[in-house]
Amino acid sequence: MSSTQPIGIFDSGVGGTSIWKEIHELLPFEKTIYLADSKNAPYGKKPIGEIINLSRKNTEKLLQMGAKTIVVACNTATTNAIKVLRSNYNVPFIGIEPAIKPAALHSKTKAIGILATRGTLTSELFHQASELYSKDIHIFEVEGHGLVELIESGKRNSNQTKNLLRNLLKPMLEHSIDYLVLGCSHYPYLVPVLKEILPEDVQVIDSGEAVARHTKVVLTENDLLAPEGINPIPEFFSNTNPEVLASLINAEENNFKVSHLDF
């Protein structure tokens, strides 16, 4: 394995670009390849076996493309499949989990909300994390039913999305949460809308920055950190129409390559 090989990143669709942005900002000298499995989005409604199979498919495509490490930029895939991936493939894997710990530690009202997909909320890994930090904290979990589909179709700022979010957040706000944990990599793209809806004293928190820092640690520990001085152009692939993906990363403005790929 060479340090100049790319970091592979996959998600059930375009949402994982929120994780990619944090990695790219922290590690600009790293070449990155991003796979948006939008054809199969959302993963959150699928049975565990199918989530594992899709995660293996994405992993094998990234390995074919030379990935030196793989970031599973999808909460549902991490919580349901990363153990299988780590036991079957000989590269480092970095996962993404809801940021329950910092929210629980800093909450003053002792009430936090978690907005996530069904696949994440029902997973064993999520249950363990929630149980660990819920001793003195009330955790209110809400399934973000329909949000991934709206983001994938380019409607993240629509009135339909705003109305859906208001309905989803209402029970959490009635219990005086002061932190909202975003438990899906798609959801950071809803932050501008969330700031319109949420009271000022409710903070929104996601895992992107922490994942980027952990990626740097893993690369350093495995002697895979790319040398400084080069600025490789990242590559993005979608197995559906790549227009939404391109718009989220400002591909034209940044001269990023976004392509259709059947995988």
Q: Which residues have a catalytic role annotated?
A: 74, 184
Rounded Cα distance between 67 and 58, Å, is 11
Assess contact for 18 and 208: CB atoms under 8 A. yes
CA atoms within 13 A on the CB side of 32: 27
Q: Dihedral through CA 164, CA 166, CA 171, CA 174, nearest 10?
A: 180
- Residue 11 — φ and ψ, nearest 5°? -150, 165
Assess contact for 193 and 165: CB atoms under 8 A. yes
Joined tokens for residue 102: 């910092």
Distance of CA 119 to the CA centre of its chain: 13
